[in-house]
Amino acid sequence: MAAVTGRLVTAGAAARRGWLPFQVVVRHGSKAVTRHRKPIHILRQKLLAVTEYIPPKPAVPERCIKPWEQEIHEPSILEKLIRRDVEFTFQENKMIAVFQNNSINSEDLRLLRHRLMKHDIRMKFFPNRVMRSYLTDTKYKNLLPLFIGRNIILVSKEPKTKEMLQIVRSSTQISLLGACIEDALFSRQGVVKYSRLPGMQVIRGEVVSGLTQITSQTCQLLNNGPVLLTNLLEQYLKQQGDAVIGQKESATTEQKETQESQGS
């Protein structure tokens, strides 16, 4: 009762202020189930407002704690297959050269392929995504910047750079970016220099000769002293001999002169 009168008092006060809800009491007799939405009693409205859903809110908002969503790219079966191929290629071949593919004609590509095949250089195409994921895990990390745009890889077991460069020189759309020859990275100029190197046999010969040069000199060095001595002695003897001959000659010439003077 007190609560009701209290309510009336507050309602009266509210009415005097000019604010009252639209429907205070729902008293006319529509049934519970109607086709239209029935006007809701104010108290029920309040109850619904008070008991609304409040979602859970952690002390620190999720977006402050959660790290940036890094797309963990789970490799599909096809990717795994291609990756295996890539691994095999890297293991098998000594020379791996990366070229930029500037939309070469398929016919020109075919010709190029044929010419390269004669020197046992294979042309490989791999998707960049797979290539990059493989390279980041191995020691060939520094090849990563080469595999960005469209590219072709030429691989061969024997590093035949000279032939490769000669063949590729003819086509304008293929340009060398870099190469990894026998686990050593080369830039374009490096590859050119590498191609100018003489063959393995020659270098071996040079190395061997260089190493043995010093040892071959020891004999000469050891002999140097006595040889010099003998040379000097010979020279001395010669000088002595010359001196003797000179004296004799001078003596004979003097004799001749005296004879001539005597004779004349």
69 alpha carbon, distance to own chain's centre: 26
Q: Is 227 in the site for another protein (CB under 8 A)?
A: no
H/E stretch holding 177: strand 174-181
**Nearest to another protein of 43, 245 (CB atom):** 43
**Considering the complex, what minimum distance in angstroms separates the CB of residue 209 from another protein?**
39
Tokens of 178: 């870099």
Report whether 135 contacts 143 (CB < 8 A). yes
- Distance, in Å, from the CA atom of 38 to the CA atom of 69, rounded to the nearest integer, reads 48
Give the CA-trace dihedral at 124, 128, 130, 131, to 10 degrees.
Answer: 60
Q: Which is nearer to another protein, 129 or 188 (CB)?
A: 129
Using the contact rule CB under 8 A, the part of the chain among 48-56, 160-168, 209-217, 256-264 near another protein is 48-56
Judge contact between 128 and 165, C-beta under 8 A. Answer: no
Candidates 45-53, 61-69, 187-195, 197-205; binding stretch for another protein (CB under 8 A)? 45-53
Instruction: Using CB under 8 A, pick the residue from 8, 47, 148, 197 that binds another protein.
Output: 47
Residues 6+ apart with CB under 8 A from 223: none
Among 2, 33, 64, 65, binds another protein (CB under 8 A): 33
Sheet holding 184-186, edge to edge: 121-124, 151-156, 95-101, 174-181, 184-186
Q: Which one among 15, 20, 40, 228 touches another protein, defined by CB under 8 A?
A: 40
56 binds another protein (CB under 8 A): yes
Show the site string, 109-148: x = touches another protein by CB under 8 A, - = not: -x--x---x----xx-x-x-xx------------------
| Closest to 120 measured CA to CA, from 98, 99, 92, 88 | 92
Residue 44 in the binding site for another protein (CB under 8 A): yes
Q: How far apart are CA 52 and CA 154, in angstroms?
A: 68
- The two beta strands, 95-101 and 151-156, are antiparallel
Shortest distance (Å) from residue 67 CB to another protein = 24
Query: Shortest distance, CB of residue 164 to another protein, whole angstroms?
Result: 17
Among 29, 53, 68, 263, contact with another protein (rule: CB under 8 A): 53
In the complex, which residues of this chain contact another protein (CB under 8 A)? 3, 31-34, 37-38, 40-41, 43-44, 47-48, 50-57, 76-79, 81-82, 85, 110, 113, 117, 122-123, 125, 127, 129-130
